[in-house]
Amino acid sequence: MRFFSFVRNRSLASKLFGGTIAALSAYVMVIGVLAYMSAEGAISGAYDQSLVVNANALLFLMQEEAEEGNLNKPLSLNISDENLTGEEKSIFDAMSEYRMFRVWYKSKLVLSTLDKLPATVPIFPQGFSDREVGDDSWRIFSLHATSKNLVIELGEQKDARIALVWNIAQDLVLPFCISLPLVALLFWRAIQTGMSDLRKVTGQVNARSPDQMTPLESSNVPADLLPLVEAINSLLDRLDKSLSRERQITELAAHELRTPLTAIKLQAQMGLRAPDEESRLLALSGLVDGVERAGHLVEQLLTLTRVEQTDFELAEVDAGEVCIRAAAELRPLSERRNQKIVVEISEPLTALANEDLLHLTITNILGNSIKYSPECSNIVIRGNRLKDKIELEIADEGPGIPEPVREKIFERFFRYHTGKVLGSGLGLTIARQCADRMQASLMLETPKNGIGLVTRLLLPKRRSALTVSRL
Amino acid sequence: MKLLLVEDDPMVGGLLETALTGAGYTVELCPDADCAELSIKVQTYDIMILDIGLPDRSGLEVLKSLRRAQSEVPVLILSARITPPDRVQGLDLGADDYMVKPFDLDELLARLRSIIRRKQGRTEIMLRAGNVELDPVKLRVTVEGAEVALQPKELKLLALLLQQKGKPASKSAIEENIYEEGEAFESNTVEALVYSLRRKLGRDLITTRRGLGYVIAE
């Protein structure tokens, strides 16, 4: 397995190198084959022609011998190489083995290179023919001079031709083969030079610290690497944006946490310098309030993080029941302010939601209504079944939220009503996040009579095609 | 000493108001920039504590408009923004000091005193006139080394006159300085305070300048 993965993952340089060398080798092979074929054609032609010429020359000689009556008994032939010089001699020796001739007179063999083709081999037909004799393969030209009773046969072993063709083809291909390692070396160098740009980019990426998000240098990058560098730069850009958003959120949270801490420290210092028991107790109870407030803020921050970063399953939930439960939980708070929470839900409201998220949404909205509405006011929770949605409505008699800030109010730590209420600035942010995670919509409206705030939550009844694909 | 406290958080604001009042300041609390700008227009203050993260505008905007209006009131910024660039920006816009939250109450009070001393061109920490000495840190008054108990308003009046020795303070200036807004006072109360101070510290300390007010001689 490791070997295969190595093959699959082998380096770009070795892939390029392997490819080039393979192509080059194939090229040399094709040249070799073509050279072989072309040499074979040319050599066959030339050799056949020389067979014809020599046969005619021999016929001419033999005609004279026949007219002089020398052919009535076999001639003995003694070809000597005494007149030949060194090189000529070696050529003669090398080739003589591959040649033969026979002269027939009145159907009798009168002259031949006996050992090559014995008389038992009958006369060949007129013209060219190919023949296997023993282990050898021959190319024969047979010239029939019927009027003179003469047949001249010249033959050549095909091996001679093939050897020659091979020699020519080899001479052509061999230089290629010898120079192949050198060419390969040059290719390897060229590829490595090309790869150095890639290595430069890699070096740039490697040299980065995790918080360095400036784009990579792209001015001197070759055109085919540019898309990669641009892709990396766009990734860096997106990372930078999301990181600085995270940093902003953390800074904002730290800033917000400092305020309750300031109150706690101030309260504690005043408790320390309190001149009497009564003011010390007052300072201490203020201290408890301060700690509670800081605790609430931390709690809300953690909740928001959990809602943002956890995967929640959506299932069928009775939204009405969740509302009734949330109202019961918050009733002690509302009763402290003499407020009445009325739940007007009479039928089961089955929605596609997450119980935890829905509960968080309702308690945060309801908590705001209790905090910001005047004492002795009413808070009404209604639920309706629409065609494909479940509608929940929380109406209070508080100061409301004017149109222009209705989107801003969902931003973290944005507070509209400051005054005496100590909010975390996260309640509606959490509610909106929860709604988003449930693919529900959350809207703020002014009731018809113009007093208070209506918060409307629309939950899907069942999975839409979009929901299914997203889950 | 009249102090304008601009702080949006009700808890911090309320506590600071109590603490500063206890330290002898006449405090006015503003929860936002609008309130602060309005207060600056209609009143004069001896010192101002300014938060930057206000709900309607940045506290720095308040500071800018204050300095644009040539006001010389010393400003101490009290902010949850802790980075050096924030502090530099605040100081360069004309703040006299910068403290980050959460802060130490004693340090805040000490810095306020130091700002006031600087503004009055004093290096001496004690406020003195003849044999009378006022300790602005402990808020204690002694005559020839013996401690004399003073009511808070008497203390405020004495501090005011000692801080501007030789310069008379009008009755209305005194009222503005020692009474908080909405605090009911009768027109003869300043006279009553002066009377009681003379009784406790000696007849010659405070001189009445007809038509100009009261003064402690240099």
Show Cβ contacts of residue A59 under 8 Å, excluding neighbours closer than 6 positions: A143, A145, A148, A150, A152
Residues B65, B140 within the same domain: no
Please state the ipTM of this predicted complex.
0.77
CATH code of the domain containing B68 = 3.40.50.2300
Residues B114, B168 within the same domain: no
Type of residue found at A59:
L
A1-5, A436-440, B138-142, B186-190: least confident range: A1-5
Nearest neighbour of B102 by CB, restricted to A258, A289, A421: A258
Residues B103, B22 within the same domain: yes
Chain B residues in contact with A269 (beta carbon < 8 A): 19, 104-106
Please give the interface size between A and B, counted as residue pairs whose CB atoms are below 8 Å apart.
63
Residues B134, B116 within the same domain: no
Chain A: give the shortest CA distance to residue B10, in Å: 6
Is A267 in contact with B15 (Cβ distance < 8 A)? Answer: yes
Nearest neighbour of B102 by CB, restricted to A262, A286, A418: A262
Is A262 in contact with B80 (Cβ distance < 8 A)? Answer: yes
Nearest neighbour of A259 by CB, restricted to B12, B55, B104: B12
Structural domain total, chain B: 2
Type of residue found at B122:
R
B110 in contact with A, Cβ within 8 Å: no
Q: Which of B120, B148, B181 is the last residue of a domain?
A: B120
d(CA B151, CA B133): 16
Is B103 in contact with A255 (Cβ distance < 8 A)? Answer: no
What's the pLDDT score for residue A104?
86
Chain B residues in contact with A418 (beta carbon < 8 A): 8, 10, 31-32, 55
Type of residue found at A289:
D
Cis status, amide bond into B102, omega within 30 of 0: yes
Chain A: give the shortest CA distance to residue B125, in Å: 22
DSSP annotation string for A323-391 = HHHHHHHHHHHHHHTT-EEEEE--S--EEEE-HHHHHHHHHHHHHHHHHHSPTT-EEEEEEEE-SSEEE
Is B15 in contact with A266 (Cβ distance < 8 A)? Answer: yes
Chain B: give the shortest CA distance to residue A242, in Å: 22
Chain A residues in contact with B18 (beta carbon < 8 A): 270
Within chain A, which residues score under 50 in pLDDT? Answer: 1-3, 5, 467-471
The pLDDT tens digits for B52-102 are 988 888 899 999 999 998 888 999 999 988 888 889 999 999 999 999 999
A258 in contact with B, Cβ within 8 Å: yes
pLDDT band at B184 (very low <50, low <70, confident <90, very high): low
Chain A: give the shortest CA distance to residue B13, in Å: 9
Closest of A143, A139, A109, A106 to residue A126, by C-alpha: A143
What's the pLDDT score for residue A1?
44
What's the pLDDT score for residue A137?
85
Q: Which of B120, B149, B176 is the last residue of a domain?
A: B120
Nearest neighbour of B19 by CB, restricted to A259, A266, A415: A266
Residues B173, B208 within the same domain: yes
Domain that holds residue B132: 127-216
Is A420 in contact with B55 (Cβ distance < 8 A)? Answer: no
Name residues 263-282 of chain A within 8 A of B (Cβ): 263-267, 269-270
Name residues 85-114 of chain A within 8 A of B (Cβ): none
Lookup: tokens for A363: 């308690």
Q: What number of other Cβ atoms are within 10 A of residue B161's Cβ?
A: 26
CATH code of the domain containing B191 = 1.10.10.10
Name residues 52-91 of chain B within 8 A of A (Cβ): 53, 55, 80-82
Chain B: give the shortest CA distance to residue A386, in Å: 39
Chain A residues in contact with B12 (beta carbon < 8 A): 259, 262-263, 266
Residues B22, B93 within the same domain: yes
B9 in contact with A, Cβ within 8 Å: yes
Is B10 in contact with A420 (Cβ distance < 8 A)? Answer: yes
A260 in contact with B, Cβ within 8 Å: yes
φ, ψ dihedrals at A468, nearest 5°: -60, -45
Residues B20, B49 within the same domain: yes
Is A265 in contact with B16 (Cβ distance < 8 A)? Answer: no
- By CB atoms closer than 10 A (0-12, 13-18, 19+), residue A156 is buried
Nearest neighbour of B31 by CB, restricted to A258, A266, A418: A418
Is A293 in contact with B53 (Cβ distance < 8 A)? Answer: no
d(CA A226, CA A218): 7
B31 in contact with A, Cβ within 8 Å: yes
Name residues 395-424 of chain A within 8 A of B (Cβ): 415, 418-422
Chain B: give the shortest CA distance to residue A462, in Å: 42
pLDDT band at B29 (very low <50, low <70, confident <90, very high): very high
pLDDT exceeds 70 at position B186: no
Residues B11, B112 within the same domain: yes
DSSP annotation string for A307-340 = HHHS----EEEEHHHHHHHHHHHHHHHHHHTT-E
The SS3 of residue A460 is: strand
Residues B31, B102 within the same domain: yes
Chain A: give the shortest CA distance to residue B193, in Å: 25
Residues B85, B63 within the same domain: yes
pLDDT band at B178 (very low <50, low <70, confident <90, very high): confident
What's the pLDDT score for residue A469?
43
Residues B16, B74 within the same domain: yes
Chain B residues in contact with A289 (beta carbon < 8 A): 11
Find the residue in A nearest to B102 (Cα): A262
A333 in contact with B, Cβ within 8 Å: no
Q: Are B63 and B93 spatial neighbours (Cβ–Cβ below 8 Å)?
A: yes
Chain A residues in contact with B55 (beta carbon < 8 A): 415, 418
B103 in contact with A, Cβ within 8 Å: yes
Residues B50, B155 within the same domain: no
Distances (CA, A) of B58 to A416, B65, B90, B112: 15, 11, 11, 22
Q: Which of B120, B141, B171 is the last residue of a domain?
A: B120
Chain B: give the shortest CA distance to residue A418, in Å: 7
Chain B residues in contact with A265 (beta carbon < 8 A): 102-105
The pLDDT tens digits for A114-167 are 566 777 778 888 888 888 877 788 888 988 888 888 888 888 888 878 888 888
Domains and CATH numbers, chain A: 2-173 (no CATH), 226-309 (1.10.287.130), 311-470 (3.30.565.10)
The SS3 of residue A420 is: coil
Q: What is the average pLDDT value for chain B, to the nearest integer?
A: 88
Query: What share of chain A has pLDDT > 70, as a percent?
Result: 93
